[in-house]
A and B are shown apart, each in its own frame.
Chain A
């Protein structure tokens, strides 16, 4: 337990010591909230009715968790390049513990960021329907964070340096985000797009968050929860397996 705790603690310390990263990670969701929220707001109101900020705030929270969680997973490459990974790999601790510590650390920070984005969105005008649902919303945040930290770890185990990082943002994270229903409603979509949404794990996270925070849902909360839970287990298993295969 102590080992997992110290690895978790290290992730947290690294995060709050790098102020530029904190600001950078919050700037992007804020920009999205402002630009999309106010830009598309009038259009949304005419076409569908209701407040667009209420609609996209859960989506933007999911986005901020997606990006930061994946990044914290991929951070292993940093540890590889700066040598600290060796220090952990030669220690008499199981790979599973390293993985659990790292994943929990990354996920914790990602969830904290998600909560900060939620607070920011309140300032901009987001009005959650029912605050009693907040614990469930946080549960969804945790699941999204775990999935994508593990996802990032799996990617990092394959990549050798940060050069590929841009590619991952453009060809994995951006599509995952745009095709998750974070920005637009899922009703009346072309068949192909609807299918992609169905196989996108983030779509269930967005839906779960939207259901708990804004009271709008495509699937049921239970449905979202079960699917995300299963995906979490699969991704953490894949992440752990690929991490255990790392050689330096």
Chain B
């Protein structure tokens, strides 16, 4: 590993009641690069991100985030990254502005930084006019945009984006990716993202890892992936590598837990 490695993962495995969600995965991410983590539904992307971001303990394996272990040095790891989650993590009973303020304060940002940045970001995602509305009155797309704006308030060393642009129109996606690329360049922020939009991954990623059924099946630059599979589009390369079957989305551990509770009570 070079000194430039900011995320290092070796033989990472996570099992939930006999189901192996992530199966002995190894990869590394170079600091300052944009890293695309692709895979069909249920491939283990979100589970991997949860383990990298201290939310879930791995069954086995080795993770280092900027040299720190997310289990033993959870607090240090949390100071390094920011994340935009795949599913909602806003407080609906607060306004958009209050959500931004809450985030800024728990990330210890001084007022003279977060106030102008909040305005800039909310304007970028076109929510500034509605900043004092409660989030529960927001549509799905507006929530998504707020979620992204919030994730960008503090400038972390690593930014995790789990399907950040899902359900957004091309204009907004374009805006957001330009902003993220700009951050990546100007602040040398490492970006680790997942997406189902292959043309997005093709455009922004320096390196792509493809995971399927919990295992890594390819790791290369978008251009290399296309030439390896003799495809013109990353989408074709992706389908050649992962097959044509449609995947059932695995339920999250929480969903499974809910089902268990229900079964138990019956």
Residues on A facing B (Cβ under 8 Å): 2-3, 6-7, 10, 13-14, 17-18, 80-84, 86-94, 160-161, 163-164, 247-248
Contacts and interface: CB of A to CB of B under 8 A. Distances in A.
A248 B90 contact: no
B92 A6 contact: no
A13 B107 contact: no
Contacts of B83: 90
Contact of B93 (A17, A81, A91, A161): A17
Nearest to A81: B254
B55 A90 contact: yes
B261 A164 contact: yes
A80 B254 contact: yes
Given A90-B54, A160-B258, A2 B105 contact: yes
Given A88-B106, A163-B265, A164-B261, 20 more contacts: A3-B106, A6-B101, A6-B105, A7-B106, A17-B134, A80-B254, A82-B88, A83-B88, A84-B89, A84-B90, A84-B91, A87-B91, A87-B103, A90-B54, A90-B83, A91-B103, A92-B75, A160-B261, A248-B253, A248-B254
25 contacts: A3-B106, A10-B91, A10-B102, A13-B93, A13-B94, A13-B98, A14-B91, A17-B134, A18-B93, A82-B91, A82-B92, A83-B88, A84-B91, A86-B89, A87-B89, A89-B55, A90-B53, A92-B79, A92-B108, A160-B257, A163-B262, A247-B55, A247-B57, A248-B50, A248-B56
Interface in B78-112: 78-79, 81, 83, 85, 87-94, 98, 101-103, 105-108
Interface string B65-87: 00000000001001101010101
Contacts of A93: 78, 106
Contacts, number: 85
Contacts of B91: 10, 14, 82, 84, 87
Contacts of B56: 247-248
Interface of B: 50, 53-57, 75, 78-79, 81, 83, 85, 87-94, 98, 101-103, 105-108, 134, 253-254, 257-258, 261-262, 265
A185 to B, nearest CB: 39
Contacts of B78: 90-93
Nearest to A89: B55
Q: Which 9 residue pairs of A and B lie closest in terms of their CB atoms, listed nearest first?
A: A83-B89, A160-B257, A92-B78, A92-B79, A91-B106, A87-B89, A6-B105, A14-B93, A83-B88
B116 to A, nearest CB: 19
Nearest to A83: B89
B118 to A, nearest CB: 14
Contacts of A13: 93-94, 98
